[in-house]
Structure 1
Amino acid sequence: MARGRSCGYDHQRGLILDQAAALFAHSGYPGTSMNEVAQACGLSKPTIYHYFRDKYALLVDITDGHVTRLQSLVDEVQRQSLAPELRLRMLIERFVQEYAHARHAHRVLTEDVRFLQAGDRERVLDKERAVVEAFAQAVAELRPDTGGAGLSKALAMLLFGMMNWMFTWLRPDGTLDHESMAPVVADLFLAGLPAVRTPGKPGHRSAGQKVVTTVNCDA
């Protein structure tokens, strides 16, 4: 009979992933060695290999695990059958709060996903695309006119631009934190959404009308 895993196996594995994510976020995936991961964990390198076959396996678990958690947040919010504005607000706030606890994994996802092999990278990116699409659909429910213009996805990407890069300027020991900024981001986006103008047909723009440029986003 095969011996089962100890009760602390998953806990230890999670701690190793957390330390590896912090190292990757600080030094980059190529600049981090398994020796450094072992030292940060206070474990021997053979012990690390008991949990992960190599450094690449760490990268896969960090990136795939993080985006899978984001998908789970989307599913949790959607199961609540909320009104469109409240659903989008909750999505924004839950994501910002999640980033507070996973800033290292999030940085690895945004900066080191290019080091994944093609199959793993596409799987992770497909999950990212599904998350973006959920936000785009939530935007389109509030502003149905943005869907046909392809603007709902662009607006979702602008929203992610606010949420995704907060870790670059929001100090962990500062006056503001992710918890307090979550409703601010939601207020800013939801208050501005009604003012967004959809693009007019080429050659039919009225004088003085602002041009809204859409971008081809493939998150």
Structure 2
Amino acid sequence: MSDAERPLDPDRRGRILQAGMALFAGTAYGAVHMDAVATAAGVAKPTLYRYFPTKEALFIEGLAWTLADLRDAVEATQRRDLDAAGRLRAAVGLVLERVGALSPALHAIEGQGAEFGERSRRVLRQGFDALRGALADLLRDGIGAGRFAVADADLAALMILGGVRMAVHGAPGRRPPAPAAVADFFLNGLSADAAAPPQRLARLGALR
């Protein structure tokens, strides 16, 4: 059986996707070449093209793979031995880290032509919709436990995801916020009563 006739290996495909997305995350889209992807993945260039015939195909499938992997990681926080707030903090940290790594790729989508750009944006919408669903499930668990007072978990998840995307994607060159700071904002909001315990106690003492 020739190489062209062999079934595609899922593990090798995953290794190529991981290598490709690492390059897209650290290098401008136009500067990423398939030779570099093949080298990073440890495969021959003809093998790479069996799995992904074009750089565009690799990018789009890599985007879908990355977002699906992030969704799975967020879903896995529901099984961690943490309270509802701790799980949300863990999920926000994951989203900040991985969406932040995607920032160069997201900027690349904005600069591409109509067909490639639209296909990329469609994959992006689908991936973020699934991610929003995972965050909403996390919030519903917290609502059920009496930890969160949220009227609409889907809307709250959309706001968390939108806030994270703006924080890591909207200001090129700016350091992304600390995950704990972002999680605290969504957990405590803008209420003055949400200050850290020592600050709260000092304020209450001054009122006595």
Unaligned runs of 5+ in 1: 172-177, 196-219
Does residue 1:66 correspond to 2:63, yes or no?
no
In the alignment, the residues of structure 1 paired with residue 189 and residue 92 of structure 2 have an alpha-carbon distance, to the nearest angstrom, of 14
In the alignment, the residues of structure 2 paired with residue 126 and residue 42 of structure 1 have an alpha-carbon distance, to the nearest angstrom, of 28
Does residue 1:133 correspond to 2:133, yes or no?
yes
Match of 1:186 among 183, 188, 206: 183
Residue 53 of structure 1 is matched in structure 2 by 53
Deviation at 1:92, TM superposition (A): 1.0
Residue identity opposite 1:127 in structure 2: G
Could you say what the CA RMSD is over the residues aligned between the two structures, in angstroms?
Answer: 4.2
Does residue 1:143 correspond to 2:162, yes or no?
no
| Matched-pair identity in % | 22
Does residue 1:87 correspond to 2:93, yes or no?
no
Residue 98 of structure 2 is matched in structure 1 by 98
Relative to its length, the structure with more helix (as a share) is: 2
Deviation at 1:192, TM superposition (A): 1.7
Residue identity opposite 1:189 in structure 2: F
Residue identity opposite 1:14 in structure 2: Q
SS in 1 for 2:53: coil
Residue 164 of structure 2 is matched in structure 1 by 160
Q: 1:153 to 1:165 in 2, by over 3 A?
A: same
Residue 104 of structure 2 is matched in structure 1 by 107
Match of 1:37 among 33, 36, 56: 33
SS in 1 for 2:178: helix
Unaligned runs of 5+ in 2: 193-208
In the alignment, the residues of structure 1 paired with residue 186 and residue 130 of structure 2 have an alpha-carbon distance, to the nearest angstrom, of 20
Deviation at 1:42, TM superposition (A): 7.7
**TM-score, normalising length from structure 2?**
0.59
Deviation at 1:38, TM superposition (A): 3.6
In the alignment, the residues of structure 2 paired with residue 38 and residue 116 of structure 1 have an alpha-carbon distance, to the nearest angstrom, of 19
Report the number of matched residues: 175
Deviation at 1:126, TM superposition (A): 2.4
Residue 76 of structure 1 is matched in structure 2 by 76
Q: 1:74 to 1:121 in 2, by over 3 A?
A: same
